């Protein structure tokens, strides 16, 4: 079965650079989520999209922005990178129509290292 695809899997950037993370949800899933997991931490919700519209926002820095495109893939853009942005970034997708009952399927994550 198709899973959530994230690219790249690993990314190394210097401070103050920009990074773009991509996510391709499971076909027919209408909701995409982004989470950030720092070392030894639990995943923290950043932002979500339902049918290409932003639906909720968590503790996402102003330096970050995201969007969902017409083909349902999503991109997380991160600018002015800081050392503290080093983390594992997960994208997840679900069928949003049933509300919170449907589980979120997570991609393998993008490991971002900021030097």
Residues that bind other proteins (CB under 8 A): 31, 33, 35, 41-45, 48, 50, 55-56, 58, 88, 90, 92, 94, 96, 99-101, 103-109, 111
* Torsion on CA atoms 60, 62, 64, 69, rounded to nearest 10: 90
Closest approach, Cβ 16 to other proteins, in A, equals 27
Closest approach, Cβ 28 to other proteins, in A, equals 17
Give the Å distances, CA to CA, from 97 to 21, 50, 82. 26, 9, 36
Q: Which residue number, 4 or 78, has a Cβ lying nearer to other proteins?
A: 4
Q: Are 86 and 21 in contact (CB under 8 A)?
A: no
Closest approach, Cβ 98 to other proteins, in A, equals 10
Q: Which residue number, 25 or 109, has a Cβ lying nearer to other proteins?
A: 109
Separation CA 20–CA 73 (nearest Å) = 13
Q: Which residue number, 31 or 85, has a Cβ lying nearer to other proteins?
A: 31
* Torsion on CA atoms 76, 78, 89, 74, rounded to nearest 10: 0
């Amino acid at each position: 079965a198709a899973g959530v695809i994230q690219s790249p899997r690993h990314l190394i950037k210097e401070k103050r650079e920009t990074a773009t993370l991509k996510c391709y949800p499971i076909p027919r899933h209408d909701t995409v989520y982004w989470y950030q997991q720092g070392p030894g931490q639990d995943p923290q919700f950043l932002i979500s999209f339902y049918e290409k519209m932003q639906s909720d926002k968590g503790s996402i820095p102003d330096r970050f922005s995201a969007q969902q495109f017409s083909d349902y893939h999503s991109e997380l853009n991160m600018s002015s990178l800081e050392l503290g942005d080093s983390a594992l970034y997960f994208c997840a997708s679900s069928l949003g129509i049933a509300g919170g009952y449907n589980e979120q399927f997570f991609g393998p994550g993008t490991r971002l290292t900021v030097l």
